[in-house]
Structure 1
Amino acid sequence: MATRRALLGTLAGTLALAARPAGAQMAIPYVPPVSRPKALTLLVGGPAGSGTDLWVRGFAPFLERHLKQVQVTIANRVGGGGLTAMRDLAEARPDGTVLAYAATPFHIVRAVERDAAPLLDRIAFLGAVTEEPVALLATPGTELDQLRIRGGTRPLGLPPPVSAASVAAAELAQLLPMEQLHFPSAAAARQAAASGNVAAALLAISEAAGAVREGKLALLGIAAPARHPQWPETPTLRELGMPVEGALRRGIAAPAGIAPAASAAVIRALRAAVTDPEFLAQAEARGILPVFRDAEAWTALVHHDRAELRHRWETSPWPVSGG
């Protein structure tokens, strides 16, 4: 009898378990699947630790943040005066998994002087996120009239010929007759101006913001259509009778023919990054203007600069620098 009762009890338990709702049979909680972030390679044409590399590494987190579910890996492609990265970009699959840092007029100057202008047709300039106007600087107390009258006694310090400042200097030469002296770097030109070894320097304002704030250099004029919001008391060069404009613009490029969906996602992320509070704080600290220039606007500027620089190269070539 005991055995029979045990068997009946076991059978009853089994039937009761079978009668429970399906959901009640699983005690393991549901865990939604975790999607792995997509890999994105961001090419940069400068060596690790260079100014260009540091800018890209500083911007990459904002690109990750606003693209969402993307992990950005920086890949340094050194060589060709910065064009090796652009060549690798042009040959990459146009699926949005490979992008590159782009700067104008830097990459345009490089392409023109190295007879590689057709390379620009294989690149899509998706959007610029910063604008760094060029400025005329000198030691505090220097007056622009002094440079106009006695500027010939000491030269105007300039960064390398590929810089936005040097491109603007070609126009300024007709309005401010000073010998122009190129230095190996913007930092060297800035130091020469601060020490008085040159009468003044023409630099991207971001390259001299610290020296200006420390009182080592003074802004005489800004080569921009409007005054800089951080230095509203400084007139534009146009206001001073010298209608010269120039700026370094940094952004992101992709292979030409990039898939529309991938292109749209990157452009949305770039637009969002320019309004990101942390990005704005970084830009203000460096004297950089966070300005979004979309693919259409930036590409139009590239075409304009390319034609102008090609003409300059054919009529009055500048010295080629860098490897």
Structure 2
Amino acid sequence: MRLARWKHSDGTIGEGFVEDERVIPFPHAKTVADVLSDGLGAAQALHAAALAEAPTGSPLADVTLLAPLVPASVRDFVTFEEHVEGVSAGVEGKSHVANEWYEYPTFYFTNPHTILGPGEPVSPPVTERLDFELELAAVVGGVSGSDGVNLTPEQAASHIFGYTIMNDWSARDLQGREMKVRLGPAKGKDFGTSLGPWIVTADELEPAIDADGFLAVRGEVRVNGELIGEDLFANMGWPFPVLVAYASRNAVVKPGDVLGSGTIGNGGCLGELWGRNGALTPPPLKEGDEVAMTVHGVGELVARVGACVPAPDLPPASPRPRLRHTPNESAAPAAASAQKEGR
């Protein structure tokens, strides 16, 4: 099954299933959020009901696809060793994977309020090193009797409702500056994350799971029609259920949470290639460039780069005297002492 959200020509929003080249709304005015919460089993019954109630639907070509969900949260992992090797060469001057990378699947939270849909242009901040990142994202669904806390990988697998393509847009110059402060990435990434074109349910990709539990589907990314990177998602350091399980450690995963795989290796982003090539080749993205991402068995996510958007200036940090008490606090003990001595 494929779940999507779309806009009709009159501006109304639809949510439902994609069947061949048509869209069919959910029965009972349900939303993608409702269906994710109800879980994969309920979605299968709903799919049969939708086909019975509105077998024709609307032509896919007559609607504009939106991001397939409004995420509750977005965690982005870094699970491809080859990606880390290349990016570290550009940032640190040498290819290096920290020992800590191998211990657990590290992630950061990105902004769920700047999600972009298929074909929606990204409006980056002023940057000289705009980059894309090809990822596959797992979408969490509801599971009866499970609260999504401290899951084992086996339990976590049942919480994966489906998958969608994810483009983690990145302003590498902003990201590099921020991460020198030992935090981030933040403003180097939170201006836009593209998701789409739809959510493919987990059962559709089960045949692609290899003997070790990894999802052996191929991802490709092209800029202006030129192939830049390609890889198998089976090259992740951990399979998706482990990512979900780790996210749930001493925390909770909820329906509507999105967990990105991290960027594929072998050219899944320009930053990796800059590190390997020792130069900005291929060049950073510029206004008008088209980035097309394909994940076999899922679909294609395409977007163009829009104009950079300048932000209001902010002042740098102010030098501070590092006082430990306010002037009033300093004067109060002296006045009290003088009064006690009758002065």
TM-score normalized with structure 1 length: 0.28
| Larger helix percent | 1
Larger Rg: 1
